[in-house]
Chains A and B, each alone.
Chain A
Amino acid sequence: MTIDTKPAGVKRLASVWLAGALVLVVLATLFDLLGAAWPAAVTARVPPGVAPVAALAVLVLIAHALHARMPALAWLVLPLVLADAALAAIEVPAHLGPAARTATTDTVLRVLWGVFMLYVVGKFLLLRRFARRAYPAGDRAPGPMTPLPSQERDLKKLTGLVAPAGDEAGRVVPLRGRWGEGKSFLLRLLKERWDPDPAAPALVIVDVWQQETETDLQVSIIEAVLSHPSYLRRLRWCRIPVSFLFARPVAALRDSVRGVQFRLLESGPGVEAELQLPQVSWQGLFERLTQSAARCRTVIALDEADRATPTVTQAALTLARRSADSPRVTVLLPYIQPLIRYKAFNPLLATLPDLASSMQAVLYEEAMASGGPSGHPPDGDGSILGLVKRGAAGWADAVAELPDDQSRLLEPAGSGHMLPWFLALSFASASPERRRVLQARFEEKYLGPAGLHIAPPGPDDLAAMLGILVRVRDVVERELMREEPLTATTRDEIGTAVRLGLERWRGRLAAVPPLRVLEGRLHEVFYATGTPARPCDPRVIATLALAAYDAAGLIHGATLEG
């Protein structure tokens, strides 16, 4: 991860400062232990407590650089701070001079110092926690990514949508694509481009699926934000409130309480408990952090939200919507439409009150309106009572159709508010077309209309893949071209043949395949090729590529979202 254009210089500087801090701490220790033995000239000029305080100041200044550049030595920071704190606690009261010292003032001063130092240690602990995520030990960064032509175009569009020039309003930008279409790749590419540029937005990628075991998604998101280098460097880490150190334990405690509440709800009638998922108590912190960000804008990408459990998916959407109310924050939401429609925009699976009530509002409007926005005709007399009667009748019919042991599946959960349940049943009984219209309306409320639909791989991409996919390129060079180096002319010939072939074939494609599927089929067909007696005609290589493209479309096109 690159954060500076002069890493070597920063490393040297940090080393020098670390050594200086170490010297100061040693000096302070010696000063304390051997106080009387020091020459009077020294003791007169360097009052007690200055050395540890100076050492602490140095540690504060160099701590981030150490974590960023020399993670192997960063572990020294915390022991030094603790040693420093102990020395200062001993020395600072001494600094007051014998006249002012009493046992009481000593104690009070030491307690105050101790509290202050706990606060400081807390800050260092937070730095340590987030720096370890921001600057992982070892070089785990992959090589530079090579985008396909369509991905380059998508990236350009996405940049315009995510961070429009001169607009500081918060927003949610949906990033829609099929499975394997390269949504996550696009995010990583964006990060690779933005991270080294201090003027670019700070892009924080949160893998919601991985975070679903956490007790509070918002805490995970804030942690991810704080783990971005731009939120840590230049003493910005000092702004992190120490209270956040306890965010996880508090979230775990709240989760336990919620568990108890839920069991009470389940245990029988008469017990009321309000479920509030997720907790919003860190919203203020989130807003303060993002407003104070050094970069122009913070972009939070909630990746894999549609892979998580419905509850977590809904929580991610709710948080995305709330975050969009914060200026200078953009939430980027990659998703597969059928998945998100099932897990989040589905009144039958609604878990979170605000998402559920938003959908109910739409259903209510549909049911009551005489010709709603979807153009669906009114299905009753327009009164609430009529709606309830129809709902009750429909419910009774549905229950009657089921065997006794299954009819309880249709009982409304919780405290038995019937109207929401009837509305959910109206959704269940709607035709597929009407359900799609309703789900589009739910989506509108949570996802902004201006999003990016990832372009499927086109002729240029297919041509480019033959050069980008290392193993395919290897087969082409070693086997099909019989070890002849691929000249620029041959590459051009292959590319032209691929583009021409796919343009001609476009009308007969069953479906355009997702990128990952295409990649798999290309590997399969090129691995299966034999070795010709002489170097292949470029058009033969293009035919293999086109056959893989066609097969990928036939095999996987219809199984995924179109």
Chain B
Amino acid sequence: MAEAKIWVKDLWKTFEPSEKSAGGTEALREINFEIREGEILCLLGPSGCGKTTVLNIIAGFQKPSRGEVLVNGKSVDKPGPDRGVIFQEHGLLPWRTALQNIIFGPQMMGKRLSESLALADQYINLIGLSGFQNHYPHELSGGMQQRVAIARVLVNQPEILLMDEPFGKLDAQTRATMQILLLDVWEKIRPSILFITHDIDEAIFLGDRILVMSCRPGKIMKEFKVTLNRPRDYEVVATLAYLEIKREILNLLKSVEQDHSCDIEANRIG
């Protein structure tokens, strides 16, 4: 396991008792997995199964009740620029233009303005944001907002990207474009990616491996290896290998008794 970039060790999370649930809520139980150098690992699960909690713990936003997360062998205790986070909401600072949002990271790291701008320029081109530098986030479409969100993370040159359903709010067509864009960028700079989604097709299309989570408490049910060739394009969804793995995942989900809040999105067939 020398090449594990992130090692999630025996993670448990129970939320404190509240008005809604007197006994506290067990969100995660015994989560174990690793993310290898340069791979895309998809965490697939229904809404409310705790996949965002896993990401929040790896990002350092929340503390686990038990267990720990090792990044490059070091235990995570707070957020940091080594782990770039991309949220479902773009999370851009609304009073900053796209460019100002992108140079936020370099500025925080104490880089000089000229250096920050040069770095920003590089990623603006890579992500396809040319011409939109001076737009404020509310002036951009959902897809462009997420492009800025990705660029502002990449500009810090993190080895790890944590992506929490980043395309979940986009329309199907934009989502497809963004998926291709992500794979394209990934091929070029090869970060290790944890990609959280509730969309089976998205998980298969992007991932090297898929971990399927179950609901309440969140547990990892099964790991699937995606052996589809890279680089991938949308032709892949019509291949037998693709359909085979999709069938396996669907069967797994069907075999698990699910309550109403645990519906997984499985209606989008290539």
Q: Does chain A bind chain B? A: no
Question: Could you list which residues of chain A lie within 8 angstroms of chain B, going by C-beta atoms?
Answer: none
